[in-house]
């Protein structure tokens, strides 16, 4: 057989040995490539002012990747989580997205703050990389292009629900709005709330502006307590806890209400733990009695209080993995097509279906704060006419 092979190849032993070595090298290369993990990029704030509010989402990404790898990965191939720090800035988010693209990720999970996700999405769309944001709610995000998705509801929904809750459940007739003019999210959600609240017959006395990280809020507090409104809508992130506490200390009787940004632990440590009564909207409640939610809490509840961004990020990774499995490919276009076609995906935060623009079609929950503690209920709401 060897002689026949030499005759047919027309090579001497030395040449055949070289040929065999080359074949073995090629086989080893293909084997190594096959064994390379599938890279998933995650972009969040690991430093800077957004770090504390981003940590719950980072935890969710880690839990999902570890769980998937424990179950054998995707089609027998493990996942490799590449975590990039956006340094709490839009430009840092842009640079992190460029790094993720160069690293050859199959998809990007991120970010948390809307201004960060907007910067990432522009790169992801340009590079044709599927991106799923766990908790960026600004409507403009998915309008960037067909490679951009989110597993959370939008500001359009949460703003309308907050206005509806304030008007119909709290019987509020007047409102004051605090808005962070350095935040795309805050500016957007404030406008949506005002529009819907006035449509329901309420009045907004004025909009008080501030910037995240400013050293002193005394002028804003002094202005607010002269208004004597039924509610104060604080359109911000964890700094809203500090502002709400200061308003209360100054004697303001208005009920503070806010967005999903109030779910962060830092919201309570900065002052939310002093709020006598308040309300905020959220994507998920640990009181939700759905089977997958209960299973998740049974697995990971020992880690401490589970926040909504954790389960949203967990769902985002699992949806990306589901799309890769469905596509049976790491081709970005194939993954994007699979994501767009997912219907009724069963996640911890409920069933998720992407609309035509990549937005998750889902409901929301109102959480009450009483004596500084969140009171969770199984209360999933939809807009009413």
For position 385, what pLDDT does the model report? 55
Gap between the Cα atoms of 186 and 35, Å rounded: 45
For position 164, what pLDDT does the model report? 94
For position 213, what pLDDT does the model report? 80
pLDDT digits (tens, 9 = 90+) for 249-258: 999 999 999 9
Average pLDDT, the chain: 89
For position 309, what pLDDT does the model report? 94
pLDDT digits (tens, 9 = 90+) for 10-49: 433 444 344 334 434 444 443 334 468 999 999 999 999 8
Mean pLDDT in runs of 10 for the chain (385 residues)? 38 39 41 70 96 94 97 93 97 98 98 95 98 95 97 93 95 97 92 96 96 89 94 94 95 95 90 95 89 95 92 98 95 97 92 91 90 83 61
- Tell me the pTM: 0.82
For the 40-153+289-354 domain, the top CATH level (class) is alpha beta
Buried b (16+ CB within 10 A) or exposed e, 134-145: bbbbbbebbebb
Range 156-282+366-381 has CATH code 3.40.50.720: no
Gap between the Cα atoms of 298 and 336, Å rounded: 32
Q: Is the dihedral of CA 42, 47, 49, 52 positive or negative?
A: positive
User: Where are the chain's structural domains?
Assistant: 2-28, 40-153+289-354, 156-282+366-381
For position 273, what pLDDT does the model report? 95
For position 75, what pLDDT does the model report? 80
For position 382, what pLDDT does the model report? 65
Going by their DSSP bridges, the two strands 107-110 and 38-44 should be labelled as parallel
For position 363, what pLDDT does the model report? 82
Judge whether 40-153+289-354 and 156-282+366-381 match in fold.
yes
| For the chain, counts of helices (H) and of strands (E) | 13, 15
């Amino acid at each position: 057989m060897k002689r026949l092979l030499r005759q047919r190849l027309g090579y001497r032993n030395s040449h055949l040995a070289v040929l065999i070595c080359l074949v073995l090298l090629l086989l080893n290369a293909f084997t190594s490539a096959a064994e390379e993990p599938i890279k998933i990029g995650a972009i969040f704030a690991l430093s800077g002012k957004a770090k504390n509010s981003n940590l719950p989402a980072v935890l969710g990404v880690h839990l999902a990747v570890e769980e998937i790898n424990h179950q054998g990965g995707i089609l027998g191939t493990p996942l490799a989580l590449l975590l990039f720090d956006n340094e709490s800035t839009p430009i840092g988010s842009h640079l992190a997205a460029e790094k993720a693209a160069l690293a050859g990720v199959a998809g990007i999970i991120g970010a948390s703050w809307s201004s960060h996700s907007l910067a990432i999405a522009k790169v992801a769309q340009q590079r044709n990389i599927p991106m799923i944001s766990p908790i960026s709610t600004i409507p403009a995000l998915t309008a960037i292009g067909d490679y951009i998705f989110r597993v959370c509801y939008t500001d359009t929904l949460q703003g309308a629900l907050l206005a509806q809750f304030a008007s119909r459940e709290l019987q509020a007739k007047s409102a004051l709005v605090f808005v962070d003019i350095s935040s795309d999210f805050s500016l957007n959600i404030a406008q949506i709330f005002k529009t819907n609240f006035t449509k329901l017959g309420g009045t907004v006395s004025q909009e008080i502006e501030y910037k995240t990280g400013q050293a002193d809020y005394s002028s804003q507090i002094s202005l607010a307590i002269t208004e004597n409104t039924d509610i104060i809508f604080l359109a911000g992130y964890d700094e809203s806890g500090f502002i709400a506490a200061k308003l209360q200390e100054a004697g303001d009787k208005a009920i503070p209400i806010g967005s999903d940004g109030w779910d962060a632990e830092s919201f309570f440590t900065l002052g939310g733990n002093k709020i006598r009564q308040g309300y905020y909207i959220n994507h998920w409640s640990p009181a939700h009695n759905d089977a997958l939610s209960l299973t998740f809490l049974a697995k990971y509840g020992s880690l401490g209080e589970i926040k909504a961004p954790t389960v949203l990020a967990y769902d985002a990774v699992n949806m990306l993995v589901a799309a890769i499995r469905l596509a049976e490919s790491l081709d970005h276009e194939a993954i994007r097509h699979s994501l767009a076609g997912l219907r009724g995906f069963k996640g911890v935060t409920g069933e998720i279906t992407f609309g035509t623009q990549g937005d998750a079609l889902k409901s929301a929950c109102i959480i009450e704060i009483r004596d500084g503690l969140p009171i969770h209920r199984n209360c999933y709401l939809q807009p009413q006419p």
